[in-house]
Structure 1
Amino acid sequence: MALAFVFVLALLLAIGAIWLFVRAGKREREEEILLRLRAMGGDEAAYVMPVDSQLHNPLLRWACHLVWRTGTDMTADTVARIMLVIVALTVVSILVLGLFGGISTIALLLAFGWAWLNRQGALRRARIVEQLPAFIESVIRVLGAGNTLDEALAASARESTDPIRPLFLSISRQVRLGAPIESVLMETAEIHRLRDLKVLALAAAINRKYGGSLRNLLRSLIQAVRARDSATRELRALTAETRFSAFVLSIIPVGLMVYIFAQNPDYYRTMWFDGVGRWLLIGSVVLQVVGVLVIYRMMRSTEDPA
């Protein structure tokens, strides 16, 4: 009876997720049409950046930021639908594999998904930082012709390549729709974890309020970005052996567990059905996850320029 109730609940959750998927898709198309009608034409309409201030759910905001950092053009509604599908899959996995097996499988898939998205975001962020000095130099040249900062950013973005091109086209588009340029730059910096954009936002705010030479500030920013990039490359070269050792230490326990399970599956099954053995297995998994997270945090400064 309980199993039938859980199955019906899972089926209702799946139907609800499908209904929300269809409804959000229709709403997304309507919003896209409205945004295109509001836009003033040009390349800016080709890339739509969601508005972070409209996300009041902290979990949804975190998931959206994780996806947006990879450069994926996905609305918050789509991310919310994916999260609902994951919840439905969790219930189905628990029904098929049991409580421990279902939760473990979904947790493992989520961990791999998080790691992949985080890695893709770091690689994209590194490419943006690498392109940023040349982009700012182009902005300085356009400013020298008498244009404003938002016009200079838009003109330089149209001449740039991915991934910096869609990022600044989105910023330019939001500015053209009426948002303050310093607010848009700061919000984009928070989403993509780009400290240089925060400096650019502060420079724009100071220039708007007090005046002064914006080009001198941008030249100083170029020098700072290049100096940090050189220091980052040197640090990566000096810590290459340490990072490889950290990777080996992280992968060896998992490899040994897989090997033992392949050779003798009853070994872990016997431990799991024993009271003390079950706690030992749970403790070992927790310690392994904590160790990997600690090593990841230690090595993150050499992997991510931001």
Structure 2
Amino acid sequence: MNIALLLCLLMLLGAVLLLRRSLREARSEQLVERLAEPQTAPQRMKLSRLQRDLLRSGLHMPSWLAVLVLMVWVLAILLALMAGGWLMLLIVLLLLPPVLLRLYMVWQYNRRLQRMISQMPQFLDHVIRSLKSGRTLGDGMLLSMENCQEPLHGAMARTRSAVQRGMPLAEAMEEFAELFEREEFHILAMGVAVNQRYGGNASELLGNLIGMIRDRDRAARQLRALTGETRISALVLGGLPVAMGGYIFLSNPQMLLNMWEQSGGRLVLMVALLMQVIGCYLLWRMMRSIG
């Protein structure tokens, strides 16, 4: 069994190395083909769901680290399969890491997005000062993108690079708004597109956008203050069953183990777990709607 496990790991390592080599050669061929083609305006790149989530959350993982994490995960699955059986394999190693990663990415995206929104008035004010000094809207936007702080600077790095490669500013800003799916960014992208197509007073538009962002932030803070008791109640309702279950397991573990050994008790525990997950999800949606 140990020899078979070692052979599986060696074959996995060889497959990963061959995959990296093929991807590197494919990128080299694409680069050569791109250089041979006539220069045209860059087109939008279609992103996969994972790439989109990584860009939104701002997480960066080198390829070698991703391969290492994948190999450790597969090794842990094989060891769990040999030691603990299919149930621990399915629940602990197949379901838990992806779910935790997804939750962390969602939390990181929401946290990053809130900081970006709070930095938008300063960013737009810098653009307005650039316009009043005689620069065009495109030059003012690029200059503000370079001088803004993180995380807005990192989020707009892809947009700034696209504009410098020749993509129209309106399309680049629209792509940025579609990536982060926020109303403020859509309004900014629409204003840039209208200004570049029909002209107009961009300073007034950006000033109104600054006022709207500050008014929305003020209203959101008041709403969070008024619904603080409701959100705390939701946290208590969601955490109380888990805390009680943990206390019962620590104080009298044989009770739950005896239930798990019986078919009826196992069904009750699985139904309780399912209802707890559904209840936490509904409470989270309610908190999100008022937060």
* TM, length-normalised to structure 1: 0.77
Whole-Å separation in 1 of the counterparts to 2:176 and 2:76: 33
CA pair 135-292 structure 1, distance change in 2 beyond 3 A:
same
1:183 to 171, 174, 181: 171
Matched, 1:88 2:74: yes
Q: Say if 1:24 and 1:78, in contact at 8 Å, map to a contact too.
A: no
Whole-Å separation in 1 of the counterparts to 2:134 and 2:71: 51
What are the ranges of 5 or more consecutive residues in structure 1 without an aligned counterpart?
38-50, 56-60
Secondary structure of the residue that 1:53 maps to in structure 2?
Answer: coil
Superposition deviation, residue 104 in structure 1:
1.4
Partner of 1:62: 49
Partner of 1:47: none
Matched, 1:199 2:187: yes
Whole-Å separation in 1 of the counterparts to 2:138 and 2:19: 36
Partner of 1:300: 288
Superposition deviation, residue 30 in structure 1:
7.1
Q: Say if 1:10 and 1:91, in contact at 8 Å, map to a contact too.
A: no
Q: How many residues align?
A: 279
Name whichever of 8-17 and 222-231 sits farther off: 8-17
Q: Say if 2:9 and 2:75, in contact at 8 Å, map to a contact too.
A: no
Partner of 2:248: 260
Deviation string for 1:188-243 (max 9, x for gaps)? 22322332111111112222222222222212211111110001000111111111
Partner of 1:53: 45
Letter in 2 for 1:157: M
Whole-Å separation in 1 of the counterparts to 2:120 and 2:68: 33
1:99 to 78, 86, 101: 86
Whole-Å separation in 2 of the counterparts to 1:20 and 1:257: 47
Whole-Å separation in 2 of the counterparts to 1:267 and 1:20: 51
Partner of 1:124: 112
CA pair 194-81 structure 1, distance change in 2 beyond 3 A:
farther
Higher relative contact order (CA 8 A, sep 6+): 1
Partner of 2:17: 19
What are the ranges of 5 or more consecutive residues in structure 2 without an aligned counterpart?
36-42
CA pair 95-154 structure 1, distance change in 2 beyond 3 A:
farther
Partner of 1:144: 132
Superposition deviation, residue 26 in structure 1:
5.5
Matched, 1:283 2:271: yes
Letter in 2 for 1:226: R
Whole-Å separation in 2 of the counterparts to 1:267 and 1:52: 58
Identity over aligned pairs, percent: 32
CA pair 150-14 structure 1, distance change in 2 beyond 3 A:
farther
Q: Report which of the two structures shows the higher radius of gyration computed on alpha carbons.
A: 2
Whole-Å separation in 2 of the counterparts to 1:297 and 1:190: 22
CA pair 193-108 structure 1, distance change in 2 beyond 3 A:
same
Name the Cα RMSD after superposition. 3.6
Name whichever of 184-193 and 243-252 sits farther off: 184-193
Superposition deviation, residue 265 in structure 1:
2.8
